Structure 1
Amino acid sequence: MIYTIGHSNMTQESFVEIMKSFKINIVVDVRSSPYSKFVPHFNRENIKKSLIENGTRYIFLGDYIGGKPRDKKYYENGKVNYMRVAQSDRYSEGINRIIELNNENNIVLMCSEEDPYNCHRHNLITQTLVKNGLEIIHIRKNSSDKIIKADKKDIQTTLF
């Protein structure tokens, strides 16, 4: 099982508490650009430091599986074409790294968008992981009272 979460505008303290409540030991940052002017405590260096201080590892994979790749070949009419991203070797490397990390750890994929259905962590990454037989749980704001299990019925056949 792999968890996902969007930090949105929550406090760093709330985020750390959610990680503890789900017994997460690795946060995998899947943001293409791990910085925010609205919630700077989620800037890469800040959140990494806070997580480490609380006994949680931080790994950045946004350059492999981020939702806004730098290369323009992944765009069509100004929008990211997830099918193209999913077919890339770099994306496959990132997915393989997630699967590897998940073998002996309790991981969460973190992005900024709170609603997974408006985020590449559901619309791209979850699609791939579910097809590979993994169970995905989206943690929503307010943690345990807001979790969504993604399974095969959630696979969007139009994407792949």
Structure 2
Amino acid sequence: MCRLTLCLLLLVGVSVGVSVGVSMGVSVGAHLTPGTHHIQRRQAAPRGADISTSCLRCICEARQCDWQQGCQGGACGGYRITEPYFNHSNITTEVPLYGDRTFETCTVDPKCAITVVRLYMRALATDCDENGTIDCDDMMLTHYYGIEGCIGVRDYAEFTNDWARYSACIGSG
């Protein structure tokens, strides 16, 4: 027996998209075709990419890039990096120079914070708009919404002040 909404959608011939989250937030898409009982699987969204200097600058500008604010509300530095984000970058093991840095000391130092963002994006940047490529827009969405939260949020994000500042920056080159 299926849920009433799903049954109605299938009866009127509307395709239903289903997204399933798996470990590390990899999105595996599925597409149900009316009248069938099989699922056609799509490839998981690409993950990981190098970030350009201009993209780094614009992601920082989106949050006004205020390095004087320190740590507030669990986010630190000009990039407003959170502790889980810092930990996912693996900076303390990947870069010997920063091996002794803590979340609080690294994220308020522009050079260390930039390295955190670079490492995070290299490992976890997500194709948030699911167009098959990872560009700066995807990295902006990954940075702000995380690897699991960035899929399908662009329409919402475009109405935020952060996105307006980011767009103005990225548009100016």
TM-score, length-normalised on structure 1? Answer: 0.28
* Higher normalized contact order (CA 8 Å, seq sep 6+, divided by chain length): 1
Flag the structure with larger Rg. 2
Write 1 or 2 for the structure with the bigger share of helix.
2
How high is the TM-score relative to the length of structure 2? 0.27
Q: Which structure features the higher share of strand residues?
A: 1
